[in-house]
Structure 1
Amino acid sequence: MDELYFQLGWQHILNWDAYDHILFVIALSAIYVLRDWKKVLVLVTAFTIGHSITLALSVLHIIRIPGALIEFLIPVTICITAFSNIVRKEEAPRHLQLNYFYALFFGLIHGLGFSNYLKSLLGSQANIVQPLLGFNIGLEFGQILIVLTVLLLSAVAVNMAGVKRRDWNMFLSSATFGIAFLMVLQGIRAALIN
């Protein structure tokens, strides 16, 4: 594994300039509490698998999708995930199939968002396997840090402050939805201006 790309991966996901990816990980993990850490780890790994696929395909120039479309779709994925959390009937997730679908499928879209950044780093480098692996492992590490933060905040809110789990989910998911919805509106506005 390439340590430089590992570092770039986790720094990229934790960069406040790339807060859209942070918001997506928050939306994915908002419905969970600390005891669900294994389920969340599987979700984050599904997200990593999704974005690893399109990241590799894009870096290898096998697929090309306009950056403006991807930048619009990323906040849409956040809105869908957060909205799904808001309308969820049960307090604790029983069936994770929809969450896994979101993580994997939307990870494909987010991978395209990472690809321009990684392509600029790689330049004309011939061997991309090690840098790609290092970058993806770094992203996974960064995502796990975000998830741990969300789960610890959930533990404080639910277990220590006595906030109902459903209320915490509504707060976190609604805030995430609101921010992402503003991003969608900005994307629409930018498209109309151009």
Structure 2
Amino acid sequence: MIRRALLPLLLCLLCVSFTAQAHEIRPAYLQIDETAPQQYELVWKVPTNNGMVQDIRPSFAPSFTLTPIPGETVVNGFVLFRYRLSGDRSLAGSSLQISNLDRTAIDALVNVSLIDGSHYSFLLRPRDNSAEIPETPAAWRVVQTYSVLGIEHILAGIDHLAFVAALMLIVRGWPMLLKTVTAFTVAHSITLGLATLGYVSLPPPPVEALIALSILLVAAEAVHLRRGKRSLATRWPWLIAFAFGLLHGFGFAGALQEIGLPQSDIPLALLFFNVGVEIGQLLFIAALLGLANLLSKLGRLPQQAPTAAAYGIGALAAFWVIERVDVMFF
């Protein structure tokens, strides 16, 4: 019943995906480093969209002077701006605003490093685009910031959600669903941690192409299952979830590296980014199961609904494979 009731939400996923990128909307990133008493260097990274960059920029209290350094650069879909900041007081306890952020749908991650060893991380949003830089570091800000970023990443990562949905199409029963989700979580947590900490690395373009291929393969297994053909994937879906989860972890790591990490709190930020990813994943699964329960009360869906859902996910994944291979070679 669960597999049969997934079709409406999966078709919605398909329609949305054709008009959206398979990646998350990346936040802007502001790194502030104190180089001498009341003297700061800033790096401001703004994500581009189809070659365009939003007119958003940091703004400080009147007691500070912000001086642009000429020569912005474009790196991996971001435009990097550099500034010098000086003032007659410490930055701690002063206000920071991202001008024009309220006119966008972009979040802004801020990391501050002071020469006394203090470090701060916090997230600014379009509807809350200003904050006071705290005078005392608080670990809960890192926890809050990176948990939110993890949730946003997975819920906007249509390809990762499509993989989870495809896995649910080949799972039979609640115990196997729990085992499969746990295997996927453990696997991508391993490679997310190892890649973020620099122990292993893979180039992003092949990883993205292989992630798309993993979705296509699991969707194909779902079709085979509906035709009565059982395989390793349908007998032990948790094993497939673990194997491909290792690959998806590299994708999560690439996103986290683009977002940026507070150098003094890397383990904490990494842990709670992963926690956020898991919360978002569980929310998605809960939405699918909730819809399944609702539809089971309203009536039966066609017998071929799971097959149609698998074909829809597979078609989308095939499109991503072609698109990402094309990016790799052209």
Provide TM-score, normalisation by structure 2. 0.51
Deviation of the 1:25 alpha carbon: 0.9
After superposition, what is the alpha-carbon deviation per residue over 1:77-125, rounded to whole angstroms, capped at 9, x for unaligned? 101111111101559xxx9653111211111111101112212334461
| CA distance in 2: counterparts of 1:192 and 1:134, whole angstroms | 35
| CA distance in 2: counterparts of 1:28 and 1:145, whole angstroms | 16
Number of the residue aligned with 1:23: 162
Any residues of structure 2 matched to 1:53-68 within 5 Å, and which? 53-68=190-205
- 1:108 equivalent in alignment to 2:246: yes
| CA distance in 2: counterparts of 1:159 and 1:75, whole angstroms | 34
> 249, 259, 277: which is aligned to 1:139?
277
The 8 Å contact of residues 170 and 221 in structure 2, kept in 1 or not, is answered as no
Number of the residue aligned with 1:128: 266
- 1:99 equivalent in alignment to 2:99: no
| CA distance in 1: counterparts of 2:284 and 2:262, whole angstroms | 32
Q: What fraction of aligned residue pairs are identical, expressed as a percent?
A: 31
Number of the residue aligned with 2:155: 14
Any residues of structure 2 matched to 1:1-194 within 5 Å, and which? 2-15=143-156, 18-31=157-170, 36-88=173-225, 89=227, 98-123=236-261, 125-158=263-296, 160-163=298-301, 167-193=304-330
Divergent runs of 4+, >6 A: none
Number of the residue aligned with 2:109: none
| CA distance in 2: counterparts of 1:85 and 1:38, whole angstroms | 18
After superposition, what is the alpha-carbon deviation per residue over 1:54-90, rounded to whole angstroms, capped at 9, x for unaligned? 1111111111111100010011010111111110155
User: Which 5+ residue runs of structure 1 have no aligned equivalent?
Assistant: none
| CA distance in 2: counterparts of 1:49 and 1:175, whole angstroms | 27
User: Which 5+ residue runs of structure 2 have no aligned equivalent?
Assistant: 1-139
Higher fraction of helix: 1
| CA distance in 1: counterparts of 2:276 and 2:175, whole angstroms | 19
Q: Identify which range, 113-122 or 99-108, moves more after superposition.
A: 113-122
Deviation of the 1:53 alpha carbon: 0.6
After superposition, what is the alpha-carbon deviation per residue over 1:124-176, rounded to whole angstroms, capped at 9, x for unaligned? 61442221221111111111111122223333445533125x52321221111
Note closer, same or farther for the CA distance 1:180–1:22 as it changes in structure 2 (3 Å cut): same
Structure number, greater radius of gyration: 2
Higher fraction of strand: 2
RMSD: 2.6
Deviation of the 1:26 alpha carbon: 0.8
Note closer, same or farther for the CA distance 1:109–1:20 as it changes in structure 2 (3 Å cut): same
